[in-house]
Amino acid sequence: MSAAAPVSASPVYTRENLAVLAARVEAAFGERLLGKEEKTQYIQFSVKAADAHDLARFLKEEPALGFTWFVDCCGVDYQRYPKAMPERFAVVTTLFSPALGVKAQVRAFVPAANPRLASLCDLFAGANWTERETFDLYGIVFEGHPDLKRILMPDDFDGHPLRKDYPLRGRGERGAFPVYHAVPLDNAPKEGEG
Amino acid sequence: MYSYEHEIEERTENTVRMNVGPSHPAMHGTLRVMMEVQGERIVRAEQEIGFLHTGFEKLGEHRSYNQFITLSDRLNYFSPLNNNIGFAIAAEELVGLEVPRRAQVIRTIMAELSRLADHSLCVGAMAMDLGAFTSILWTFVEREKLYDVFEAVTGTRLTTSYTRVGGVAFDLPDGFEKRVMTILDSMEETVEKLRGSFYKNRIFLDRTEGVGIITPAEIESFGITGPIARSTGKTYDIRKYRPYLVYNELEFDVPVYTQGDTLARYKVRLDEMDQSIRIVRQALRLLEPGPISALDQKHALPDKMSTYTDMESLIHHFKMIMPGPDHGLNPPVTDLYSATESPNGELGFYLVSDGGSNPWRVRVRPPSFINYPIFSKLLEGAMLADVVAILGSFNIIAGELDR
Amino acid sequence: MSAQDKINDVITTQLGFAINWARSNSMWPMPFGTACCGIEMMATFMSKYDASRFGSEVLKFSPRQSDLLIVSGRISLKMMPVLQRIWEQMPEPKWCISMGACASSGGVFDTYTLIQGVDQFIPVDAYMPGCPPRPEAFIEALMTVQEKARKGQASSNDFVSTDASRDPSLSPNYRSPDRFMDGPQSAADEIPAEAPLSPLTTVQEGRS
């Protein structure tokens, strides 16, 4: 029997630590931040694609912060969004710090021409599948990902469905299956006989 | 850059390739596990998902906020009310809408009843997969009673679509409290029966004790939440972390075990059922008469009876429902991540709004999707019989997993 | 016809009647439960709405040993070849129930990845509307199929798998289910060049 793990204390949301978080990140990243917005329960930091990995590593490994709990990673397509955005795509990674009791969000803007971003798989194991899904649905390539392949769509699927220029009803893939329907046998009795 | 060749090269000698799914007897939806086994021991395992990918997130961009509530039922179909409530809370936080007290209490009660339904099915199905068919029959009897209550309140058994942005759709029927109290009593008895049947059962203990152990470090790295995290010692429950609805007025414990194995996950769920019963008993006392939907008619649907009789309500109703410029919810042009505690873990909705009636982006952060990747890691070195035991304890719901 | 032939006809007719009666009262289902309808299907097999009263006692989960395929839940692009393979594996006579709105017509989900009705691709004997259908609707569909079985009808009748024009692999869009067994053989996905800004065909579609 393995030794039982210790029971950790229950994290509690501490609004004051949002200011601590903001101060630390600004001190370390200052000019590289494209934006910093405080929302209910968390702060969203917007950066360019190249800085996302550094920011995530800082959030995780800085002793005073401790954002070690992975929450989510998703993509957003801002094509034709009413507010001007630096790039077409964004990859939004949410992290949680049990020590501070707040969440942090890293929004990395990824250009449409060459959608590449450094993968967070070396920091968080949860990034593996979420980045695969973002690749599958948006076409954003995560460099350094151990196994970047489609996860939700079939492997030979053509296109990235959640992009804004991909139609909701698809391009006919859902009708392209062989048909098994009743066919009269050659030697079936014709009507009126048998 | 991404290919399957690495899998074939690393293939070890004397292994048999086995495939479970996507159509398989364990009632856990469309999952596929490809394993390489040596005798009974699994050497390597790989999972494939996506067999139920429906395009919820794409569809969410073409439906209004209230319409997405109907879709949200189909995510975690064991406990649809939790999804309804989670999404409604996310949309209300986005708009900054205040929900009236009675709606909050009703939502709390329905969330906990739905949690009872989910846990009872998971616990029953888990034992059924290990061969004990009786437990699912017992838990389904309780579920059917809960279905009767859901039907009386929301109109349907399963896909309830009960909440609206701003409150709930219908008020509680007469006799609700008495009915629920009867169900809670019988549910308590069933939980005791399950404890008595399984906690000392040699076969059950042998198949679940020490099987599929997860460490706390893996929990944080993978982002696992919910009963699985609480079975490894990590106390994280959003109802205690940042109480929403009326949880800050209710007294309840968060059961935590430390072994991290399948048995601990089973025990956490049974204990959580007890706590849910406790919560509902307290919440029923908090019910007071009042409005069930926000009175802000620009953002919440007006009361149905006044829509039929009052011109202004009719116009507000029209503006909320029909598509068009300046119609619909019209939240500020921003984005927000909001999470609630669903029976499986942290159910989050990341909503990006463009100011119109439809969301720009709906990201569902499904607990099943984040909890599942560790499964193949747990299978390495496990026995073939452990696949079903571990899978059952994870409560993977394909609707949520693949969206 | 001679008297002997007439007697033979009577015997085979009665025998056929008896066999059909036996088949209809021992429908072994192959539950193909994918989503929410699967839960209502499970509820139908449980104590309150016991489907085993109708002979559907044994849930073998093996297509080779069942005669009723119940497609309950939404079928996605990835799952359709699996469904077809299961259908092919079932021995005849076989019946199919399409349970719920998603299996019958795509349901609430008119998206790029869901099959808008499995009856486009496999023959269906009974449809169950509902989202999800109540267990009572399930029982009614089961009884409809039992009626058909008693008459000796099945949508899968006269299905020819050796007819060249129906050989699935000759279809230009054939997707072999074998690719799941050996891993995908597709070429690497090309990252598309920046998509031209097309008119807003997706965002402004609205409800239609």
* Residue carrying the six token digits 């002979």: C55
Give the integer Cα–Cα distance in Å for C106 and C103: 6
pLDDT band at A139 (very low <50, low <70, confident <90, very high): very high
Taking CB atoms within 8 Å and a gap of at least 24, the contacts of C164-170 are C166/A179, C166/A180, C166/A183, C168/A178, C168/A180, C168/C84
State the average pLDDT over residues B266-281.
Answer: 95
| Domain span including residue B165 | 56-402
pLDDT in tens, B139-148: 999 999 999 9
User: What is chain B's mean pLDDT, rounded?
Assistant: 90
CB C68 within 8 A of CB C56: yes
pLDDT greater than 70 at residue A186: no
pLDDT greater than 60 at residue A190: no
- Which residues, numbered 140 to 179 in chain C, qualify as contacts with chain B under a Cβ-Cβ cut-off of 8 Å? none
A contacts of C84 (beta carbons < 8 Å): 177-178, 180
Token pair listed for B162: 């009960």
CB B291 within 8 A of CB B100: yes
pLDDT band at C181 (very low <50, low <70, confident <90, very high): very low
Q: Do B62 and C207 touch (CB under 8 A)?
A: yes
C contacts of A141 (beta carbons < 8 Å): 191
Is B304 in the same domain as B240? yes
- Give residue B325's pLDDT: 76
Domain A16-124 has CATH 3.30.1060.10: no
C74 domain-assigned: yes
Q: How many CB atoms lie within 10 A of CB C185?
A: 12
CB-based contact, C184 to chain B, within 8 Å:
yes
Helix (H) or strand (E) holding C44: helix C36-45
C176 domain-assigned: no
CB-based contact, A17 to chain B, within 8 Å:
no
pLDDT greater than 70 at residue C160: no
- Give residue B274's pLDDT: 95
The full set of domain ranges for chain A reads 16-124
Of residues B346, B74, A176, A177, the one with CA closest to residue C34: B74
Domain count, chain B: 2
Give the integer Cα–Cα distance in Å for B21 and B26: 9
Token pair listed for B359: 């969301």
C174 domain-assigned: no
C201 domain-assigned: no
pLDDT greater than 60 at residue A194: no
Give the integer Cα–Cα distance in Å for C114 and B55: 8
CA distances A130 to A133, A145, C188, Å, are: 5, 11, 20
Helix (H) or strand (E) holding B293: none
Q: Which neighbouring-strand residues pair with A47?
A: A33, A108
Is B273 in the same domain as B141? yes
pLDDT greater than 60 at residue C165: no
- Find chains touching chain C: ≥3 CB pairs under 8 Å: A, B
- Give residue C203's pLDDT: 36
Residue B109 sits in a domain whose CATH number is 1.10.645.10
pLDDT in tens, C18-75: 888 998 999 899 889 899 999 999 999 988 998 889 988 888 788 899 989 999 999 9
State the average pLDDT over residues A180-184.
Answer: 54
Start-to-end Cα distance in chain B: 27
pLDDT greater than 60 at residue C161: no
pLDDT-wise least confident of A47-56, A178-187, C77-86, C94-103: A178-187
- Give residue C156's pLDDT: 67
State the average pLDDT over residues B371-393.
Answer: 91
- Give residue A4's pLDDT: 57
**Ranges B16-25, B178-187, B311-320, most confident:** B178-187
Token pair listed for A142: 């995560």
Q: How do strand C68-72 and strand B335-342 relate by DSSP bridges?
A: unpaired
C25 domain-assigned: yes
Residue C95 sits in a domain whose CATH number is 3.40.50.12280
Q: Of C78, C116, C155, which has the smallest distance from its Cβ to A154's Cβ? A: C78
Of residues B58, B364, B352, the one with CA closest to residue A165: B58
Give the integer Cα–Cα distance in Å for A105 and A94: 4
Q: Please, is B160 exposed, middle or buried when counting C-beta atoms within 10 Å of its C-beta (0-12, 13-18, 19+)?
A: buried
Dump strand ranges (E) for C43-102: 68-72, 95-99
Domain count, chain C: 1
pLDDT band at C157 (very low <50, low <70, confident <90, very high): low
What DSSP assignment string belongs to B154-210?
Answer: HSSSS----EETTEESSPPPTTHHHHHHHHHHHHHHHHHHHHHHHTT-HHHHHHHTT
pLDDT band at B357 (very low <50, low <70, confident <90, very high): confident
Is B12 in the same domain as B113? no
Sheet holding B335-342, edge to edge: B335-342, B345-353, B359-365
pLDDT greater than 70 at residue B383: yes
Is B337 in the same domain as B361? yes
pLDDT greater than 50 at residue C183: no
Token pair listed for B31: 């999952």
The letter for the amino acid at C1 is M
State the average pLDDT over residues C150-164.
Answer: 60
User: What is chain C's mean pLDDT, rounded?
Assistant: 75
Q: What percent of chain A has pLDDT over 70?
A: 90
pLDDT in tens, B223-249: 999 999 999 999 999 999 999 999 999
| Domain span including residue C47 | 3-151
Mutate to test the interface with A, among C12, C110, C113 (most CBs of A within 10 A): C113
CA distances B397 to A31, B49, B129, B372, C62, Å, are: 43, 11, 15, 10, 22
Give the integer Cα–Cα distance in Å for B100 and B119: 29
Token pair listed for B254: 């968060």
CB-based contact, B16 to chain C, within 8 Å:
no
pLDDT greater than 70 at residue C128: yes
Give the integer Cα–Cα distance in Å for B365 and B355: 22
CB C105 within 8 A of CB C117: yes
CB A141 within 8 A of CB A116: yes
Q: Do B348 and A71 touch (CB under 8 A)?
A: yes
- φ/ψ of B231, rounded to 5, equals -85, -5
What DSSP assignment string belongs to A88-149?
Answer: SEEEEEEEEETTTTEEEEEEEEE-SSS-EEE--TTT-TTHHHHHHHHHHHH--EEET-TT--
Is B141 in the same domain as B195? yes
Give the integer Cα–Cα distance in Å for B345 and C43: 25
Query: For residues B296 and C184, which has the higher predicted lDDT (pLDDT)?
Result: B296
ipTM at complex level: 0.90
- Give residue A180's pLDDT: 67
CB-based contact, C71 to chain B, within 8 Å:
no
- Give residue B265's pLDDT: 94
Is B87 in the same domain as B29? no
- Give residue B322's pLDDT: 84
- Give residue C200's pLDDT: 35
pLDDT greater than 50 at residue A137: yes
Name, in order, each residue with C-beta under 8 angstroms of B87's C-beta and a sequence gap of 6 or more: B68, B69, B72, B163, B349
Give the integer Cα–Cα distance in Å for B310 and C92: 62
Give the integer Cα–Cα distance in Å for B31 and B261: 21
pLDDT greater than 70 at residue A178: yes
pLDDT in tens, C69-111: 999 999 999 998 889 888 888 888 889 999 999 999 888 998 8
- Give residue B90's pLDDT: 95
Q: Give SS3 for B18.
A: strand
Is B128 in the same domain as B250? yes
Q: Of C48, C76, C207, which has the smallest distance from its Cβ to B54's Cβ? A: C76
pLDDT in tens, B53-69: 999 999 999 889 999 99
CB C102 within 8 A of CB C128: no
A contacts of B210 (beta carbons < 8 Å): 1-2
Name, in order, each residue with C-beta under 8 angstroms of C83's C-beta and a sequence gap of 6 or more: C32, C71, C75, C118, C122
Of residues B75, B144, B88, the one with CA closest to residue B116: B144
Q: What percent of chain A has pLDDT over 90?
A: 49
pLDDT in tens, A86-133: 999 999 999 999 999 999 999 999 998 889 999 999 999 999 999 999
CB C161 within 8 A of CB A178: no
> Which pTM value belongs to this model?
0.88
pLDDT band at B346 (very low <50, low <70, confident <90, very high): very high
Q: Do A163 and C197 touch (CB under 8 A)?
A: no
- Give residue B328's pLDDT: 84
Q: Do C188 and B143 touch (CB under 8 A)?
A: no
Q: Do C34 and B51 touch (CB under 8 A)?
A: yes
Q: How many CB atoms lie within 10 A of CB B305?
A: 9
- Give residue A173's pLDDT: 78
